[in-house]
Structure 1
Amino acid sequence: MQAPLVPTSVIYRKPAVESGGGVVAAQSRDAAAAGARILAAGGHAVDAAVATSLALGATEPWMSGLGGGGFATLWDAERREIRCLDFGMVAPAALDPADYPLTGKPTEEGFFGWPGVVDDRNIMGPYSIAIPGLLAGLGLAHKTFGRLPWSDLAQPAIALADRGLTLDWYGAVSIAVEGKLLAKFEETRKTYLSEGRVPAPSDDGAATFLKLGRLRETLRQLATDGPDAFYAGAVGRDLIKDLGALGCRLSQQDLTDYRARFIDPVEVAYRDARIFAPSGLTAGPTLARVLEGWSKNLPPAGDAPEAAHYRAYAMGLDQAYRDRLANMGEQKKEPRETCTSHFNVVDRQGNVVAWTQTLLSRFGSFVMSPSTGILMNNGVMWFDPVPGKPNSMRGGAKPLSNMCPTVALSDRLGAVGLGASGGRKIMPAVAQLLSFLVDFGLDLDAAIHTPRIDVSGAGIARVDRRLGDETLRGIAGSMTAEFTDLAPYPAQFANPSAVQALPDRKFRGAADLASAWSGAVSETDVAKLA
């Protein structure tokens, strides 16, 4: 196995933030700060979510952005109501399976182990692009819950796009790992490899930033015209013109017809808590199955999880993924690292948002629209290119997703919003964090710092080395088990974050330990900087 970029031994603690005001926790601290500024200005949790989401397209563009989609779970504290939001990507209406002839060989590029397609058309390039739903989701959420004007919410993202992408060691590495594929596509090559190589951080430590094409101008136009400009306005027309010139099947009608929608949540009673996640083609139903199994099979809980608990975690996750892979159309081959953004928001009123958005692969399709600076998803890769399967590609279809934005409610916990990035690794991380909080009574800081395992579909348990030999041996009695490390790259575990509105009106946020840029930012912190 490839050695981690930064081993566990040098990863420092990231203490949870506690505040008398709202908190945003994200993989990008700059994006979290953008959302926290909106909270400090009196915004609703959804207002802050809009600002954070837009900012992420400028702070970690390889993960998510205007060209992607996702899911969210929202807790309305005043109405005591859960809403789940589907703004997932959809296959273009004109998608033609004949455009994806099979090679008869496996592919090395995709995450899901599909049979190879000529030129990897389902994985990268114009044929891999699905209809993006992010702006429709943001627009619907803001229309339903927002307090502040849309234009105000876009300003932090505009400022970050104007500044440019941070080029420290982590920014440079994030580009370098896909440098070969970035070089294959003209606009991404011009943007990320402008001198024919990966841009290097400054030797003297001075801040260095990379301009992201016309993203700033597009955000300015969206601030003025609103999210509808993406689907039925000038931004959308420019985007379709650029993509059509490359042979993409995405049409103006696809954009015009796209609708984000509220969907029913999956609800499961787990001990004294109620757990909510999106239903349908997400990891929500699988999370419910895992928690229902653990409620019966987990050994009695003490102060912290022990080897017997991790063995029960592993067995429950393994069985749930065997069923998911057999019945929901995913391949059994374990996927590579996937690239997604997850963040959470809690405001002073106790409203909570758990929000997950993605381009799917790192840098999505690698296709960047020169007129808009928008990097497009490769959502077609979610579909099996072999006809006649449960998840086979077809025009207008929605693919199976691993996203799992979750809200937990109880008298003791208050309201917790949590989730993660990391493909199939997402749900195991969310489930274990819920167990740490609910079964063992850990606070948010202790939960985020407690080592986890990952079992996500290949009959293999990856065990954080800090858990020791006893845990490894206990799991190895049931399945293959191996030690690995928590590290920024390659990520062997999901990257979770969480926020919490406690019953005593205190608010907490915690972010992933391994992500170099992750952080939780409170509205009181940014108010001090204003």
Structure 2
Amino acid sequence: MRDFHQPKRSPIYAANGALATSHPMATEAGLAVLKRGGNAVDAAVTAAAVLAVVEPAMTAIGGDGFALIHQPGSPLYGLNSSGRAAAALSTEMLVGQGWTEMDDLSPHSVTVPGVVKCWESLLASHGTIGMEEALQPAIAAAESGFVVYPRVWSDWNDCASKLASQGPGGQHYLLDGAAPRMGTIHKLPALAATLKKIAKEGARGFYEGEVAADIVAELQRRGGVMTEEDLAGVSADPCTPITSGYRDIDLAELPPNGTGIIAQVILNLMERFDLKSLDPRSADRYHLEIEAARIGYAIRDAHIGDPSTMGVAAEALIDKAWAKGLAATIDPAKRNGDLPSTDPNFTSDTIYLSCVDRDGMAVSLINSVFKGFGSGIVTEKTGIILQNRGAGFRVLPGHPNTIEGGKRPLHTIIPAMAMQGDKARYCFGVMGGQYQPTGHTHVITNMVDFGMDPQEALDSPRAFWRPDGTIEIEPPLGQGVFDGLKAKGHPLDWTKSPHGGGQIIEIDHDAGVLIAGSDPRKDGCAMGY
């Protein structure tokens, strides 16, 4: 239970349904669906579509989507609706042009957007409403306008120069070259028209016809090679989640090309330590988390990509016996300067929402354009922000994640579900780009090892590194933790912006109650009834 002297909030409790998102308008829209009899998928898609309008730096219909669904009495269902690189792209082509790494502002970084196909597929397989009904609140927000919230404005403002530099399409999201002011109403008429077309025609209205032609024309004008055939070939693919035990729960993640299994790798390492004996806000606890994550991300960088080109099975990467040996390399007293081998064959920074309905269906859904406003490329006629998920590729011949036409890149967005037996216990996810596997680790250990409720688990301060390896810790951790980590050899700095976001719904099956929290690092909220 939280300290009521502290300026924090309690989790929400609900008996009939709950929804947690990063924006109040999305939570309100989804909750209305639940109240009028829709199920968790109906509400989740409705809320996600609203987020694609009102939180444009984080998500858009030009982005990707993944989902996990638990339906009582049925196996866990996973959906991978991440897009593929244009068929004409190849490592050979880019190397020949002098590329050594992906350019996240290039049209080559734009993969086929998968999110519209994701929504349609989820509604078809598990929903009770269609796209036309689900998109109405999003259409209203785009057409009539929405108020720009504080965190939304901050992210928007950070990307204003990027939008301006990428051409006239950015003017859908700029006023006189700047982000709209916080607390003002912004309208997106071109996007509203595009959403109306999708509502009427379904995903086909996005991937074929005039909308698809506009996307292709925008990219090809910039030297891109995506075609209308690439868009028409989009797929949302059901997949079997991968489950790994941690203490008394089983953590379910989607398989690669996502990086969910890296959260399982990190937890396999953390499981070897007695976390309950530590202060959850101590340097000792954060040191173990950081060291385990550094090993996990080294494994990610070496192995994760499109599963068709990975040289090692995902199951081998989460092997408990291998984890035991890796955990032995973690020194609780100091930072490890030499990470262990990341090859198991030798030894054996998005929106996320969580929704649970009255029948116990739980939906863990995540959509994203990757970096703020994705590539920054916006279609001039149709107002679509195009993601830069292709920046997740390597330009490195022979690497499992090197770019090739038709491949899916390594993906940072990862929905999750923690199970106890055949029942869902935590429906959750953590936003924040590269931070996400560490974020899953952080909130799970907060709840499982330290007994925090969902809101406390999300409130808890975070630590993560920037590309040069410096660990950035959030200021609420205080000088004592800063000094303690520095004494263990970590290069440190205070973070200028918070690490990610997140939503959690805990299902208390004994009480018949849902307990939900929403990350204070965003504008959102959890609601239930």
Instruction: Give the alignment's TM-score, normalised by structure 1.
Output: 0.83
Task: Indicate whether 1:13 and 2:8 are aligned.
Answer: yes
Task: Indicate whether 1:59 and 2:54 are aligned.
Answer: yes
- Counterpart code for 1:511: S
Give the 3 Å change call, closer, same or farther, for CA 298–315 of structure 1 in structure 2: farther
Distance (Å, rounded) in 2 between the aligned partners of 1:130 and 1:64: 14
Task: Pick one of 296, 300, 305 that aligns with 1:320.
Answer: 296
Q: Is the 8 A contact 1:352 1:415 kept in 2?
A: no
Q: Is the 8 A contact 2:123 2:130 kept in 1?
A: no
| Other-structure match for 2:525 | 519
| Other-structure match for 1:42 | 37
Q: Is the 8 A contact 1:266 1:288 kept in 2?
A: no
| Other-structure match for 2:215 | 239
Residue 153 of structure 1, CA deviation: 0.9
Q: Is the 8 A contact 2:142 2:189 kept in 1?
A: no
Distance (Å, rounded) in 1 between the aligned partners of 2:134 and 2:423: 30
Q: Secondary structure at the match of 1:447?
A: helix
- Counterpart code for 1:26: T
| Other-structure match for 2:513 | 506
Provide Cα deviations, 1:84-136, integer angstroms capped at 9, x if missing partner: 110112101012446646898xxxxxxxxx9567xxxx321433311111111
Distance (Å, rounded) in 2 between the aligned partners of 1:44 and 1:456: 40
Q: Is the 8 A contact 1:95 1:394 kept in 2?
A: yes
Provide Cα deviations, 1:286-340, integer angstroms capped at 9, x if missing partner: 111111111122344478564433332222222222332344489xxxxxxx4x1
Give the 3 Å change call, closer, same or farther, for CA 459–521 of structure 1 in structure 2: same
Distance (Å, rounded) in 2 between the aligned partners of 1:457 and 1:125: 21
- Counterpart code for 1:501: I
Distance (Å, rounded) in 2 between the aligned partners of 1:493 and 1:168: 19
Residue 415 of structure 1, CA deviation: 2.3
- Counterpart code for 1:409: M
Q: Is the 8 A contact 1:45 1:345 kept in 2?
A: yes
Provide Cα deviations, 1:191-221, integer angstroms capped at 9, x if missing partner: 23342344334xxxxx522222411111111
Distance (Å, rounded) in 2 between the aligned partners of 1:219 and 1:63: 18
- Counterpart code for 2:197: Q
| Other-structure match for 1:84 | 78
Give the 3 Å change call, closer, same or farther, for CA 266–179 of structure 1 in structure 2: same
Question: How do 1:153-164 and structure 2 match up within 5 A?
Answer: 153-164=134-145
Distance (Å, rounded) in 1 between the aligned partners of 2:274 and 2:493: 22
Distance (Å, rounded) in 2 between the aligned partners of 1:155 and 1:40: 16
- Counterpart code for 1:187: P
Task: Pick one of 463, 473, 491 that aligns with 1:453.
Answer: 463
Task: Pick one of 63, 67, 75 that aligns with 1:68.
Answer: 63
Q: Is the 8 A contact 2:353 2:364 kept in 1?
A: yes
Question: How do 1:114-133 and structure 2 match up within 5 A?
Answer: 115=100, 122-133=103-114
Q: Is the 8 A contact 2:447 2:454 kept in 1?
A: yes
What 5-or-longer segments of structure 2 have no aligned partner?
1-5, 307-348
Distance (Å, rounded) in 2 between the aligned partners of 1:462 and 1:242: 38
| Other-structure match for 1:380 | 390
| Other-structure match for 1:253 | 229
Q: Secondary structure at the match of 1:391?
A: coil
Q: Is the 8 A contact 1:239 1:371 kept in 2?
A: no
Distance (Å, rounded) in 2 between the aligned partners of 1:382 and 1:184: 22
Give the 3 Å change call, closer, same or farther, for CA 127–467 of structure 1 in structure 2: closer
Task: Pick one of 151, 175, 187 that aligns with 1:211.
Answer: 187
- Counterpart code for 2:125: T
Q: Is the 8 A contact 2:259 2:300 kept in 1?
A: no
Residue 358 of structure 1, CA deviation: 1.1
Q: Is the 8 A contact 1:18 1:509 kept in 2?
A: yes
Question: How do 1:248-397 and structure 2 match up within 5 A?
Answer: 248-301=224-277, 304=280, 306-328=282-304, 338=349, 340-397=350-407
Task: Indicate whether 1:463 and 2:463 are aligned.
Answer: no
- Counterpart code for 1:129: V
Distance (Å, rounded) in 2 between the aligned partners of 1:366 and 1:213: 19
Provide Cα deviations, 1:254-298, integer angstroms capped at 9, x if missing partner: 122211111121211111111101111222221111111111223
- Counterpart code for 2:173: Y
Give the 3 Å change call, closer, same or farther, for CA 483–243 of structure 1 in structure 2: closer
Task: Pick one of 487, 494, 497 that aligns with 2:500.
Answer: 494
Distance (Å, rounded) in 1 between the aligned partners of 2:373 and 2:236: 23
| Other-structure match for 2:148 | 167
Distance (Å, rounded) in 2 between the aligned partners of 1:374 and 1:17: 35
Q: Is the 8 A contact 1:103 1:115 kept in 2?
A: no
Task: Indicate whether 1:227 and 2:203 are aligned.
Answer: yes
Residue 61 of structure 1, CA deviation: 1.1
| Other-structure match for 2:161 | 180
Distance (Å, rounded) in 2 between the aligned partners of 1:387 and 1:225: 41
Provide Cα deviations, 1:144-198, integer angstroms capped at 9, x if missing partner: 1001233211111111111324335544433321222211233334223342344
Q: Secondary structure at the match of 1:510?
A: strand
- Counterpart code for 2:471: A
| Other-structure match for 1:93 | 87
Q: Secondary structure at the match of 1:297?
A: coil
Residue 71 of structure 1, CA deviation: 1.8
Distance (Å, rounded) in 1 between the aligned partners of 2:227 and 2:37: 39
Distance (Å, rounded) in 1 between the aligned partners of 2:294 and 2:156: 33
What 5-or-longer segments of structure 1 have no aligned partner?
1-10, 105-113, 202-206, 331-337, 525-530
Provide Cα deviations, 1:44-82, integer angstroms capped at 9, x if missing partner: 111111111111111111111111103222211242x21
Residue 508 of structure 1, CA deviation: 2.3
Q: How many residues align?
A: 481
Question: How do 1:141-156 and structure 2 match up within 5 A?
Answer: 141-156=122-137
